[in-house]
Structure 1
């Protein structure tokens, strides 16, 4: 598959490197550091302009700071028509109400994926890969406590969701369909909450029982 990656940071390296290693064609478009990242990734990864990455990919990954989205989408929005666009971003800000020296975050924006979809309505926007840090996706470890690491996926276009699920499987991850794009804001909220727990030293996995113990009785 041809994958255009917009951005040259940690998420671009982790996901783009994994997909290139799995045999996908990867083109990185960024204002800086694209050549260095392509050389690091290897496996024939190429570089080009941001517009070239948008046009190259059947799937386009937005691996950008949220603050850069408006400018980039204004530049390339028309070139994303009909393409699957993966939004892995999170709009994190420090929680100023947290006790001093306790890492915690809040969202600066409640529904980034919805805004992207509204900005480029002819693209098929899918929210995925936003729950964990880039270092987790780059790691070779995929199974924890006998459970494969999962990727919740939100999107409205079934074919686009299927494409992203296949890309998750190529990274040896377990895709989970998490509903339409209107539910992506819950993924964004889950990320800001759990990442805050991890940064503060709490085990976020411990707040959820395994599936076989996650029973409830309807009221």
Structure 2
């Protein structure tokens, strides 16, 4: 698959690297051509260029810029993104005295804002729950199970493309409903990352159904 990545930071490099290793054609796009070239070279991407170059390359586009900048950027590229799968991996969170809090600037998710900014694009929320380092694992497996990657999408074609991108790096697609539920993924990221920062283990709050006492399953 052809993948354009908007951004040159950690998520662009690690997810782009995972997809490149899986055989996809990745182009890194950035405001700084020096940084785009450096990121592309580090992961062995097919190429680099401007943000518009990356948007025009991909069957799927990863938005890997700060959440606060993402809606305006996607809006500026709306024409190039029409009909394409646009994956939002951003986390609109800020540290406060009460821990990490959502900061979307509105009552909606960032993913919904991207869909509003580029109404002809097929926006998906995905890849936002894990630390950037997780995507360097080949493949990501924990307790002998492949990592599940939740995603939200309103478009069957975009959902299928996202499932391909998830499966191709050794993970399990976990559909979580339409884009209206993307806010739940963003809130889950704020909660989980806050627990990690506090030294907790978020996975301990979600035991497997196989571990539930049998009498409760009857």
Per the normalisation by structure 1, the TM-score is 0.91
Task: Pick from 194, 201, 204 the counterpart of residue 203 of structure 1.
Answer: 201
* 1:144-164 alpha-carbon deviations (Å, 9 max, x no partner): 123221000100001111111
Task: Pick from 118, 141, 154 the counterpart of residue 120 of structure 1.
Answer: 118
* Deviation at residue 56 of structure 1 after TM alignment: 0.8
Partner of 1:85: 86
1:114–1:48 Cα change, 3 Å: same
Partner of 2:129: 131
* 1:4-41 alpha-carbon deviations (Å, 9 max, x no partner): 00000000011101111111111111012100001100
Given that 2:138 and 2:169 are in contact with CA atoms closer than 8 Å, whether structure 1 keeps it comes out as no
Partner of 2:179: 181
Partner of 1:22: 22
Partner of 2:56: 55
Given that 1:51 and 1:75 are in contact with CA atoms closer than 8 Å, whether structure 2 keeps it comes out as no
**Structure 1 position 3 matched with structure 2 position 29:** no
Partner of 1:101: none
* 1:83-140 alpha-carbon deviations (Å, 9 max, x no partner): 00000001011122x3xxxxx2000015111111111110000110000111111223
Q: Which moved more, 1:137-146 or 1:105-114?
A: 137-146
Task: Pick from 162, 165, 169 the counterpart of residue 167 of structure 1.
Answer: 165
Distance 1:141 1:51 in 2: 31
Distance 1:147 1:202 in 2: 21
Distance 1:87 1:217 in 2: 38
Query: Unaligned 5+ residue runs, structure 2?
Result: none
* 1:195-217 alpha-carbon deviations (Å, 9 max, x no partner): 10011100111011113235897
Q: Which moved more, 1:32-41 or 1:74-83?
A: 74-83
Given that 1:4 and 1:59 are in contact with CA atoms closer than 8 Å, whether structure 2 keeps it comes out as yes
Query: Secondary structure of 2:69's match?
Result: helix
Partner of 2:102: 107
Matched positions, count: 211
Query: Unaligned 5+ residue runs, structure 1?
Result: 99-103
